[in-house]
Structure 1
Amino acid sequence: MCLVFVCDEDERVLSRQVAPGACPYCGGMIQAMDVESQWRFCFLPLYWKTKRKFYCSVCARRLVLQY
């Protein structure tokens, strides 16, 4: 008996906007991207979530907000 688990995560960019502020590392502009991630098991969607991620447009670092 052989069990094969086929799991996949797919990320898709929905939109991009310019965010206020500057990158603390290089001083470049910050982009806010809305990303939809979707987990699939055997090609059936199980879970999807929309997140907002922040990236620097010059040095391409992912920035994390500190509250």
Structure 2
Amino acid sequence: MVFFCFLVDQRRKVKRSKPVAGSCSRCGGGASVADMMTQTRFCCVPFYWKSWKAIMCTFCGAMLKSYR
């Protein structure tokens, strides 16, 4: 019996962002609204991607809230 193992990974990329009023609850840094893109790859070939918005901390990079 032979099993094949393939590499599947997922990357998140910030396409653009703009600052908003408020601060991070974790570190106290500023917040920004970011247009995000999630890309799922199978053996280095992207086969699924999704765009969505998130509120992120500009200092620590924590995702405070996401809008899918």
- What's the TM-score once normalised by structure 2's chain length? 0.68
- Whether 1:43 aligns to 2:40 is no
Q: Deviations over 1:5-60 (max 9, x none)?
A: 210111211101012x323734x532011111100111221110111110233565
Between Structure 1 and Structure 2, how many residues are aligned?
A: 63
Cα distance change of structure 1 residues 42 and 32 upon mapping to structure 2, 3 Å threshold: same
Amino acid at match of 1:46: F
Unpaired stretches in structure 2, ≥5 consecutive residues: none
Show structure 1 runs of 5+ residues with no match.
none
Query: What's the counterpart of residue 62 of structure 1?
Result: 63
TM-score, scaled to structure 1: 0.69
Matched position secondary structure for 2:46: strand
Sort the Cα spacing of 1:5 and 1:58 in 2 relative to 1 into closer, same or farther, 3 A. Answer: closer
Q: CA RMSD in A?
A: 2.2
